[in-house]
Amino acid sequence: MMNLKETLILVFAMGAVILFCRVFPFLFFRRGETTSPRKKAFPRKAFPRKVFLEFIERTVPPVAMTVLAFNAIGSSFLNETRDGFLVLAASVITALIHLWKRNALISISAGTAVYMILQKVII
């Protein structure tokens, strides 16, 4: 059991992390436009930031989805082998339908339906 001092330290630490996560995008992605004439004389170079943001926009979503997919498949094998194979089968179906239709909503819905059907049929 934690005492009051340890609890308060944890609460403030978690609050600081959450605040940083909320404020970070505004600090990092601000435009830098001001009304000061001195600032207008020395405009900020936007090109490197634009290239960096385009790179992030292109790479982060597929990387995040890949990590989540491997995490889901790997953790399902840790629980029970049968569950792992059900998740793996549903993942393969989801990938194949997505390659065929190129529609995330259809492929995710079909993969979820396949997983639920397999889970009810293979008990």
Mean pLDDT, residues 86-95 taken together: 92
Please determine, for residue 35, whether its predicted confidence score (pLDDT) is greater than 50: no
Domain positions in the chain:
31-121
pTM of this prediction exceeds 0.75: no
The residue among 16, 90, 8, 104 whose CA lies nearest residue 61 is 104
Mean pLDDT, residues 17-46 taken together: 65
Please determine, for residue 40, whether its predicted confidence score (pLDDT) is greater than 70: no
3-state secondary structure the chain: CCCHHHHHHHHHHHHHHHHHHHHHHHHHCCCCCCCCHHHHHCCCCCHHHHHHHHHHHHHHHHHHHHHHHHHHHHHHHHHCHHHHHHHHHHHHHHHHHHHHHCCHHHHHHHHHHHHHHHHHHCC
Please determine, for residue 23, whether its predicted confidence score (pLDDT) is greater than 90: no
> How much is the pLDDT for 106?
93
Mean pLDDT, residues 33-51 taken together: 56
> How much is the pLDDT for 31?
61
